[in-house]
């Protein structure tokens, strides 16, 4: 039994001599890897800036869009409320028709403005991100279709 323990201890000692240098090589950072990581990191930072700019533009555009929609709904409510103070069927009908027509026009304008602003934000982002020359893996352009289109 003593002989088996000695052989095992010697085997473990030899194994540690062989394994230690291999492990040391894999954990030692190389200067080549560090340089490429920094280079890639600079590109990612560039894309981050482009994404931040895009998201701020989209945030402002969606705020304007929702404010326009709220205004359209408020104007419609006021116009309809006024329409139903009329005393004849013809004047009620005419005022209701105008309230809805104005509402549709306001909503169309809000959607058009939102869609133009959204498309511009994404186009500007693509231009800026392209100048970053970052790997495609860090770009999120394939998620553009997840945006609300203001329909």
Domain limits, the chain: 40-134
Mean predicted lDDT score pLDDT of the chain: 79
Which region, left, alpha or beta, applies to residue 115 given φ > 0 means left and ψ of -120 to 50 means alpha? alpha
- Whether 69 has a pLDDT exceeding 70, the answer reads yes
Kindly compute the dihedral angle of the four CA atoms of residues 89, 95, 98, 104, in this order, to the nearest 10 degrees.
Answer: -90
CA distance 46 to 81: 53
Residue 141: the pLDDT is 72
Confidence bin at 42 (pLDDT 50/70/90): confident
CA distance 124 to 116: 12
Q: What is the pLDDT of residues 4-40, one digit of tens each?
A: 444 444 444 444 444 444 444 333 344 444 444 445 7
| Average pLDDT of the residues in 55-72 | 97
At 89 the pLDDT is 97
Grade residue 77 by pLDDT with cuts at 50, 70 and 90. very high
Which residues have CB under 8 Å from 109's CB, separation 6+? 68
pTM: 0.66
Sign of CA dihedral 74, 80, 85, 91: positive
| Percent of the chain scoring above 70 in pLDDT | 69
Contact yes or no for 64/117 (Cβ under 8 A): yes
User: In degrees rounded to 5, what are phi and psi of residue 111?
Assistant: -65, -45
């Amino acid at each position: 039994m003593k002989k088996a323990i000695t052989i095992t201890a010697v085997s473990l000692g030899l194994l540690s001599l062989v394994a230690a240098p291999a492990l040391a090589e894999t954990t030692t950072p190389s200067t080549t890897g560090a340089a490429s990581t920094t280079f890639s990191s600079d590109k990612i930072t560039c894309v981050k800036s482009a994404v931040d700019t895009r998201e701020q533009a989209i945030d402002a555009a969606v705020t304007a869009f929702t404010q326009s929609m709220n205004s359209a709904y408020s104007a419609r409510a006021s116009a309809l409320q006024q329409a139903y103070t009329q005393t004849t069927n013809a004047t009620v009908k005419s005022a209701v028709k105008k309230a809805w027509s104005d509402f549709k026009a306001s909503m169309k304008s809000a959607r058009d403005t939102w869609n133009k602003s959204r498309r511009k934000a994404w186009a500007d982002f693509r231009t800026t991100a392209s100048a970053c020359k970052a790997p495609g893996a860090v770009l999120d352009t394939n998620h553009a279709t997840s945006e609300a289109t203001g329909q």
